[in-house]
Amino acid sequence: MYGERELEAFVAVLDSGSVSIAAERLLRTQLTVSRQIAALERQVGAPLFRRMPSGMVATYVGERLEPMARDLVRRGRRAREVMTGIVTDQRSFIAAAPEMTSVLILAPFIASGGGISDVMIASPADAHDRLRIGADLAVTTNPPPERLSGVRVMTLPLLCQMPESHPLAGADHVELRDLLAGSFLTSGRGSAAWAKIQHVAEGEGWSLELAGFGADAPIIQARSAVRNVPCVVVEPQRFGLVSRPLRHRGEPMTAALYASWERTHYAGDEIRALVRELAEFTAHHVPSMYGN
């Protein structure tokens, strides 16, 4: 088994391209770092670096070792953090989530004392992949794949928002059929709102040709305000828009927010407890976010 300190030295030299800089970052002497790299090379059985004018560059063997080394170093650090949290009863985890989920859900949860120390921003489609590179849990509207443990945290309403002057703003809700009869905006094709709209529309044989796509909800809402075109989001209204529930045949259309984590995560029980706390928090926070 490769030693953790040797792997830390290897990663530090990779990142800095220099033994001296790596030693400074690790608070070790250059001789110590050089000896740790040499010891790791003896264990691997091949050189890990080439000395180039630009600095230390990984060999082919070094490149193959890199992802494994980073994963082992990360897991070692996280294991220490988790165990320290268990002993001190101050557990803290790293979440991966889309930016708006981070702003509207996770930031208020952290401010309330929730056990999340940091958030890695990722698209809904990429959030689960962040579990392989540092995140302990993913919070996103995309359902978790079977390889992960997952829990539905809450249900979010799909909202049709538009300027008050738009014809669809006159009713207390908007039917999907009426929305699809004209132009409208929604998030990218990987979003929960679009997935739900597409699923229902294709089942009914309705056209989606008039759909327009944007990035995050604030941009879509801003475009809606300027162009007087409805938008479909799960976030509270902005920019003077009015908000109406989106329905299909009278039934509310919704999207789910999920939390997921690796089944083999060494702090799986603690993460599950954290997710329960998050679900309890959102049950109270989210209605107030919408003004309910």
Q: What pLDDT is stored for residue 173 in this prediction?
A: 93
Indicate if 117 and 176 belong to the same structural domain.
no
Task: Examine the fold and report which residue of 87, 104, 121 is the final residue of a domain before the chain moves on.
Answer: 87
Indicate if 226 and 197 belong to the same structural domain.
yes
Task: Decide: 219 and 261 in contact? Cβ < 8 Å.
Answer: no
Indicate if 173 and 245 belong to the same structural domain.
yes
pLDDT digits (tens, 9 = 90+) for 83-139: 776 776 666 788 999 888 898 899 999 999 888 988 988 888 788 888 887 789 999
pLDDT digits (tens, 9 = 90+) for 133-187: 778 999 998 888 899 999 999 888 899 999 999 999 888 999 999 998 888 888 8
CA 218 → CA 100, 214, 245, 260, 272, distances in Å? 9, 10, 18, 26, 31
Task: Examine the fold and report which residue of 87, 109, 130 is the final residue of a domain before the chain moves on.
Answer: 87
- Structural domain harbouring 78: 4-87
Indicate if 272 and 196 belong to the same structural domain.
no
Q: Return the CATH number at 277.
A: 3.40.190.10
Q: Tell me the pLDDT of the chain averaged across its residues.
A: 87
Q: What pLDDT is stored for residue 198 in this prediction?
A: 85
Indicate if 201 and 282 belong to the same structural domain.
no
Q: What pLDDT is stored for residue 186 in this prediction?
A: 87
Indicate if 202 and 270 belong to the same structural domain.
no
Q: What pLDDT is stored for residue 260 in this prediction?
A: 94
pLDDT digits (tens, 9 = 90+) for 23-61: 998 899 999 999 999 999 999 999 999 988 888 899 999
Indicate if 17 and 60 belong to the same structural domain.
yes
Indicate if 206 and 218 belong to the same structural domain.
yes
Indicate if 46 and 183 belong to the same structural domain.
no
Percent of the chain with pLDDT over 90: 42
Q: Return the CATH number at 185.
A: 3.40.190.290
Rounded Cα distance, 76 and 71, in Å: 9
Rounded Cα distance, 120 and 157, in Å: 25
Task: Decide: 141 and 256 in contact? Cβ < 8 Å.
Answer: yes
Rounded Cα distance, 35 and 154, in Å: 52
* The residue to which tokens 């001296």 are assigned: 20
Indicate if 110 and 244 belong to the same structural domain.
no
Confidence check: pLDDT of 258 > 70: yes
Q: What pLDDT is stored for residue 266 in this prediction?
A: 77
Rounded Cα distance, 75 and 168, in Å: 52
Which among 270, 243, 245 has a CA at the least distance from the CA of 259?
Answer: 270
Task: Examine the fold and report which residue of 87, 105, 134 is the final residue of a domain before the chain moves on.
Answer: 87
Q: Return the CATH number at 44.
A: 1.10.10.10
Indicate if 147 and 265 belong to the same structural domain.
yes
Number of domains within the chain: 3
pLDDT digits (tens, 9 = 90+) for 211-256: 777 777 888 899 999 999 999 988 888 899 999 999 999 899 998 8
Rounded Cα distance, 43 and 36, in Å: 11
Which among 242, 143, 160 has a CA at the least distance from the CA of 197?
Answer: 160
Indicate if 201 and 79 belong to the same structural domain.
no
